[in-house]
Amino acid sequence: MEKLFKLSLLNQAFKAIISYPLRSFFCLIGIALGILSITLIIASIEGANKRALQLFSDFGPDAILIFSGSEQMRSARIRINTLTLDDMQAIKEHIIGCYEAIPMIPVRNMNVSYGDKKWRTLGIGSTIDYFTSWGWRISDGNSFSQEDVEQYNNVAVIGQEIVKQIFNGNPQSAIGKTILLNKKPFYVAGVLKERGISFGSMVLDDRIIMPITTAMREMLNERKYIGAIRARFYGDITSRINDVTELLRQRHGIKGESPNDFTIRTAEDAKQFLLVLQGTLVLFLGITGSISLIVGGFVMANLFMISVQERSAEIGIRRAFGAKKYHIILQILFECIIISIAGSVLGLFLSFVAGKLIIAYTTIPIFFSHKIFWITSLVATAVGIISGLYPARKAASLNPVEALFV
Amino acid sequence: MENTPIIELKNLKKSFFIGNREIEVLKGIDLKIYKNESIAIIGQSGSGKTTLMNIIGCMDKATSGTYLFKGKDITTFSDDELSEIRNESIGFVFQQFHLIPYINALENVMLPTIYSKKPLDSVKQKAISLLTDLGMKDRLYNKPTQLSGGQQQRVAIARALINDPEIILADEPTGALDTKTSSEIMDILVSLNEKGKTLIIITHEVEVAERCKKNIRISDGKII
Ligand SMILES: Nc1ncnc2c1ncn2[C@@H]1O[C@H](COP(=O)(O)OP(=O)(O)OP(=O)(O)O)[C@@H](O)[C@H]1O
Ligand SMILES: [Mg+2]
């Protein structure tokens, strides 16, 4: 009974929506655009969170990175090298729980050429443990060997971006070729598996790994210092960081209040960096999304005000045949809510399309979860109710006689 | 009980305000309407007929005076209570038909049932049979704009009947129709009265007034 009666009001609302297509269309578009931006915001927040988690596990929750240079120097972009291979050895030997330590030295802006193809990339010198430590598999060919490290051999493992730029995206064709790195010939032993992630403007796949010895002697003419150490530990990471700090300060002869000449980063820091990066974006998008949704709601409220005026005879008729004020309110609200929900479905669809495009053409992470569906439905219903309330009350408060005879 | 009027108005007055100027349209109406009467309210244009009908039909409230509906004083009834009376006891028929343009004939007829508290079973069957009785069997699914004036008024009459009201309240029901169609519509309204409905028609046409058993003339806001 009660249910049937509610259904018939809904039914009237549906018919009114279909019968005023232009009004309904503009309301629908307004809401859809609002929902589109809200959805993209949520999807990019969720994408960022997912990527941060990915980054966290890629980095390794039990790992630290030690860079040369103090915190202040790093933020001022002053590069000095203070860490040595001996420091690395000391960490490995003296810190309890350290089960792995690898050295890294960057060769920045390294020129790659093969035939007439040219590219500029980041070179990294390290040991054979680089790949297992970062959990970065070799998809084609092989790693350089321990022997290559010991004999300063010019052997390289190249990232997928290099394959794309130099070898037309065909990793097999790269294996065994000789490429020039800063004009020195290197044998391509293997290709890294695609990682697909970028970190700020840095594309992880755009790099070439070579033996640390080769990088130091052949590329950088560096005898002693290295760029960074990556170490992994068993047990509590915080106390290990303290141990490492103490050890390095002692080895570098830093006393008292003097600042460290090195910087330690953890997975937590890496995650934080990404979240901060997203934070400003989220704020911007959040404001944009809210504004577009408010505009959508405003458009709807105004169009319904006009509509209520146009339909005053209809409202008078309904009142004459026994509609109470709340029946009129409900019908107008139902109309608004139905349009809003339809708009949110359209907006959701548009956002899926936009999401696909964003994923295809940018590095912004986008992830759609079922949460988005519920949030947008809820938001759409709320917008429908809020923007419908004023016109609905206006309609219900019309004097039935005047509504009928104007 | 038999002598209780279905509608009783005592010294009913109605004023409108235009700015701060008061215009008294009804200047003390005393009227008793009994069950199964058929009454024509006649009078010149501007004499206050529609104003009176709006008050009788619980669409508007008097400025002063008493309105007893089936013996009950409804002067102080709330908007919702008056809506219920309109829904259950009064069927309006208007000069301009006043059908809702975006729903079809059948849906227009069923409209009052949306707002009624009575069970809704077989409403559709009842609407179809009402329209069929009025010769509208082939026009059930037409929108109002696809119907002639006479056909629209038949739909409006069926709508007025769907909730089985005691009173049919018609304001110039033939005002927008030609002579032949007018008399057909009057045939229908008179036959409803013969079947037991109380019929109140507002008109200024002599032909229409003659078909009602009782005529009430209103002039300058008073019954004469
Ligand atoms: N809402 C209103 N505000 C101000 N004046 C009104 C209002 N409604 C009616 N009037 C005035 O009250 C008077 C009576 O109007 P009413 O519509 O009752 O006349 P009527 O007898 O039905 O006339 P007609 O035969 O032309 O339909 C008229 O002078 C009209 O201008
Ligand atoms: Mg009139």
Q: Count Cβ atoms within 10 A of the Cβ of residue A5 and give its class: 0-12 exposed, 13-18 middle, 19 or more buried.
A: middle
pLDDT of amino acid B1: 47
Token pair, residue B25, equals 């349209």
Task: Give the torsion through C-alpha atoms of B113, B115, B118, B119, to 10 deg.
Answer: 60
Domain that holds residue A383: 2-55+272-404
pLDDT of amino acid A200: 58
CB atoms within 10 A of CB A46: 17
Among B60, B100, B112, the residue with its CB nearest the CB of A401 is: B60
- Kindly state whether residues A102 and A194 are assigned to the same domain: yes
pTM of the full structure: 0.76
- Choose from B102, B164, B167, B172 for mutation: most chain A CBs within 10 A: B102
Determine the Cα–Cα distance for residues A86 and B28; give it in Å rounded to an integer. 113
Q: What is the pLDDT of residues B85-130, one digit of tens each?
A: 999 999 999 999 999 999 999 999 999 999 987 766 788 999 999 9
- Kindly state whether residues A108 and A181 are assigned to the same domain: yes
User: Of A193, A226, A260, which residue constitutes the final position of a domain?
Assistant: A260
Ligand 1 binding pocket includes B50 (Cβ within 6 Å): yes
pLDDT of amino acid A255: 86
Residue A69 contacts residue A82 (beta carbons within 8 Å): yes
Among B88, B98, B113, the residue with its CB nearest the CB of A317 is: B98
**Interchain pair B112, A322: CB under 8 A:** yes
Among A16, A321, A323, the residue with its CB nearest the CB of B102 is: A16
CB atoms within 10 A of CB A378: 11
A191, part of any domain: yes
Checking if the pLDDT of A109 tops 90, the result is: yes
Checking if the pLDDT of A394 tops 90, the result is: yes
CB–CB contacts below 8 A, A to B? 76
A16, part of any domain: yes
Length of chain B, please? 224
* Residues from chain B contacting residue A330 (CB–CB below 8 Å): none
Q: What is the pLDDT of residues A21-30, one digit of tens each?
A: 999 999 999 9
Ligand 1 binding pocket includes B96 (Cβ within 6 Å): no
> Reduced to 3 states, what is the DSSP secondary structure of residue B74?
coil
pLDDT of amino acid A279: 66
Determine the Cα–Cα distance for residues A56 and A266; give it in Å rounded to an integer. 9
- Kindly state whether residues A226 and A375 are assigned to the same domain: no
DSSP A148-209: HHHTT--EEEE-HHHHHHHSTT-HHHHTT-EEEETTEEEEEEEEEPP---EETTEETTSEEE
Q: Which bin fits B32, alpha (ψ -120 to 50), beta or left (φ > 0)?
A: beta
- Kindly state whether residues A209 and A246 are assigned to the same domain: yes
Q: Across residues A165-174, what is the average pLDDT?
A: 92
Closest listed ligand to the CA of B54: 1
- Kindly state whether residues A247 and A301 are assigned to the same domain: no
Checking if the pLDDT of B4 tops 80, the result is: yes
Determine the Cα–Cα distance for residues A38 and A44; give it in Å rounded to an integer. 10
Atom of ligand 1 nearest to the CA of B47: 21
A165, part of any domain: yes
- Kindly state whether residues A110 and A228 are assigned to the same domain: yes
Q: What is the pLDDT of residues A257-266, one digit of tens each?
A: 888 889 898 8
Q: Which of B180, B199, B210, B212 lies closest to B53 in space, CA to CA?
A: B199
> Reduced to 3 states, what is the DSSP secondary structure of residue A232?
strand
* A56-61: Cβ within 8 A, 24+ apart: A56/A267, A56/A268, A56/A270, A56/A271, A57/A267, A58/A134, A58/A135, A58/A195, A58/A197, A59/A266, A59/A267, A59/A270, A60/A133, A60/A134, A60/A135, A60/A232, A60/A267, A61/A237, A61/A267
Determine the Cα–Cα distance for residues A97 and A242; give it in Å rounded to an integer. 13
For residue A200, how far is the Cα from the chain centroid? 10
Q: Which bin fits A254, alpha (ψ -120 to 50), beta or left (φ > 0)?
A: beta
Checking if the pLDDT of A278 tops 70, the result is: no
- Residue A243 makes CB contacts below 8 A (sequence gap 6+) with A95, A96
Checking if the pLDDT of A331 tops 90, the result is: yes
DSSP conformation class of B139: G
Whether B49 contacts chain A with CB within 8 A: no
Least confidently predicted of A40-54, A218-232, A292-306, A342-356? A40-54
Token pair, residue B171, equals 């304001």
A68, part of any domain: no
Checking if the pLDDT of B31 tops 90, the result is: yes
Determine the Cα–Cα distance for residues A228 and A98; give it in Å rounded to an integer. 16
Give the up-direction half-sphere exposure of residue B141: CA atoms within 13 A in the CB hemisphere: 0
Q: What is the pLDDT of residues A374-388, one digit of tens each?
A: 888 899 999 999 999
State what percent of residues in chain A have pLDDT above 70.
94
pLDDT of amino acid A9: 86
Res. A6 pLDDT band, cuts 50 70 90? low
- Angle of the A21-59 helix axis to the A2-19 helix axis, nearest 10: 100
Ligand 1 binding pocket includes B16 (Cβ within 6 Å): yes
Least confidently predicted of A6-20, A71-85, A95-109, A146-160? A71-85
Closest listed ligand to the CA of A400: 1
State what percent of residues in chain B have pLDDT above 90.
86
- Kindly state whether residues A194 and A97 are assigned to the same domain: yes
Determine the Cα–Cα distance for residues A185 and A94; give it in Å rounded to an integer. 39
Q: Which of B101, B50, B26, B211 lies closest to A312 in space, CA to CA?
A: B101
- Residue A218 makes CB contacts below 8 A (sequence gap 6+) with A152, A154, A184
- Distance between Cα B166 and ligand 2 center (Å): 22
Closest listed ligand to the CA of B52: 1
Determine the Cα–Cα distance for residues A85 and A286; give it in Å rounded to an integer. 47
Residue A132 contacts residue A182 (beta carbons within 8 Å): no
pLDDT of amino acid A69: 84
Checking if the pLDDT of A341 tops 90, the result is: yes
- Kindly state whether residues A338 and A384 are assigned to the same domain: yes
Ligand 1 binding pocket includes B221 (Cβ within 6 Å): no
Ligand 1 binding pocket includes B47 (Cβ within 6 Å): yes
Sheet holding B222-223, edge to edge: B90-94, B167-171, B198-203, B38-42, B214-219, B222-223
Residue B165 contacts residue B91 (beta carbons within 8 Å): yes
**Interchain pair B86, A4: CB under 8 A:** no
**Interchain pair B114, A323: CB under 8 A:** yes
User: Of A228, A260, A292, which residue constitutes the final position of a domain?
Assistant: A260
Residue A177 contacts residue A208 (beta carbons within 8 Å): no
- Kindly state whether residues A393 and A308 are assigned to the same domain: yes
The number of folded domains in chain A is: 2
Among B50, B80, B92, the residue with its CB nearest the CB of A324 is: B80
The CA distance from A26 to the nearest CA of chain B, in Å, is: 19
More confident residue, A141 or A46: A141
Residue whose Cα lies nearest atom 16 of ligand 1: it is: B48
- C-alpha distance from residue A241 to each of A65, A229, A252, B149 (Å): 10, 13, 16, 91
Atom of ligand 1 nearest to the CA of B49: 21
Least confidently predicted of A21-30, A68-77, A270-279, B129-138? A270-279
Whether B116 contacts chain A with CB within 8 A: yes
Among B83, B99, B107, the residue with its CB nearest the CB of A322 is: B83
* Residues from chain B contacting residue A318 (CB–CB below 8 Å): 100, 111, 115
- Choose from B86, B115, B163 for mutation: most chain A CBs within 10 A: B115
User: Of A260, A290, A319, which residue constitutes the final position of a domain?
Assistant: A260
The CA distance from B81 to the nearest CA of chain A, in Å, is: 9
- Kindly state whether residues A255 and A369 are assigned to the same domain: no
A64, part of any domain: no
A234, part of any domain: yes
- Kindly state whether residues A96 and A234 are assigned to the same domain: yes
Unique residue bearing structure tokens 């008179």: B190
Q: Which of residues 86-115 of B touch A (CB under 8 A)?
A: 86-88, 92, 94, 98-103, 107, 111-115
What stretches of chain B adopt beta strand conformation (E)? 7-18, 21-33, 38-42, 64-69, 72-73, 90-94, 167-171, 198-203, 214-219, 222-223
Q: Across residues B71-98, what is the average pLDDT?
A: 94
Q: What is the pLDDT of residues A81-92, one digit of tens each?
A: 889 999 999 999
**Interchain pair A15, B102: CB under 8 A:** yes
More confident residue, B199 or B122: B199
Phi, psi values for residue B69, rounded to 5°:
-110, 115
Q: Across residues A151-180, what is the average pLDDT?
A: 93
Residue B191 contacts residue B161 (beta carbons within 8 Å): no
Rg for chain A, CA atoms, rounded: 32
A74, part of any domain: no
Whether B24 contacts chain A with CB within 8 A: no
- Kindly state whether residues A204 and A148 are assigned to the same domain: yes
pLDDT of amino acid A1: 44
A360, part of any domain: yes
Token pair, residue A269, equals 């820091």
**Interchain pair B112, A321: CB under 8 A:** yes
pLDDT of amino acid A58: 79
Checking if the pLDDT of B14 tops 70, the result is: yes
Rg for chain B, CA atoms, rounded: 17
